Amino acid sequence: MNFTSENMILIWLILLVLFVVIEVLTTQLVSIWFAGGSLISLILSFLDVNIVIQVIVFFITSIIFLCITYPLYHKYVKSEIVPLNADSLIGMYAVVIKEINNKEAVGQVKVKGQVWSALNEIDEIIPEGEEVKIIKIEGVHVIVQKKEKERG
C-alpha cells in the first residue's frame, strides 16, 4: 500500500473513529488516549508531515495521554466505586433499634444482623421497636418507611 498523505488522513480518521466508538461502548477508560494520539496524528497528516513522524507522534502522545489521564481516572472516578452487596437489603424489613428522627439526623435499624444508620423517607419520627421497610440506600444510610399495617 502506498502511504500518501491522503491515505494517512483516512487511516488516522478511521483509527480516531474506532477508538472513540470503543470508548463510548465501554464503561471504563480503555482507548481514549489512543483517540487523542490519532487526533494529533490526523492533524499532522493534514499538515503533510512525514509518515514516520506521524506514527512516532501517535505513540508518544498516546503514552503521554495515558500517563496523565489514568492516574486522574483512578483518583477521581474509579475510587468512588465501592463494591457493596447492600442493594440486596432493599425491600427487606428491619427493626428500629434507635428512634429515627430526620431533623436530629439520628436513627438506627437492624437488618440481617447488621446495624445501619437510618432515615425516614418522610419527616416523621419512627419509635424504637417498630418494623420498617428499607426502600433505598443513600451513602451509609438506609432510607425506610413504616411498615403498613395489615388489614383484616
CA gap 32, 143 in Å, rounded = 38
Where are the alpha helices (H) located in the chain, listed in sequence order? 5-25, 32-46, 51-76
- Give me the pLDDT at residue 128, please: 94
- Long-range CB pairs of 49-54, under 8 A, 24+ apart, other chains included: 51/3, 51/8, 54/8, 54/12
**pLDDT, tens only, 11-32:** 999 999 999 999 899 877 788 8
- Computed on alpha carbons and rounded to an integer, the radius of gyration of the chain in Å comes to 28
CATH of domain 86-145: 2.40.50.140
Given a contact cutoff of 8 angstroms between Cβ atoms, the answer to whether 112 and 92 are in contact is yes
pLDDT at 81 > cutoff 60? no
Full-model pTM = 0.50
- Phi/psi region, residue 81 (left: phi>0; alpha: psi -120 to 50; beta: rest), is beta
Cell of 9: 488522513
Per-chain mean pLDDT for the chain: 87
Between 107-111, 112-116, 137-141, 148-152, the lowest mean confidence (pLDDT) is in 148-152
pLDDT at 110 > cutoff 90? yes
* 81/45: higher pLDDT: 45
Mean pLDDT of 98-126: 92
Q: Which residues pair with 100 in a beta bridge?
A: 126
Mean pLDDT of 96-122: 93
- Give me the pLDDT at residue 83, please: 47
For the chain, where do the domains classified as CATH 2.40.50.140 start and end? 86-145
* 81/87: higher pLDDT: 87
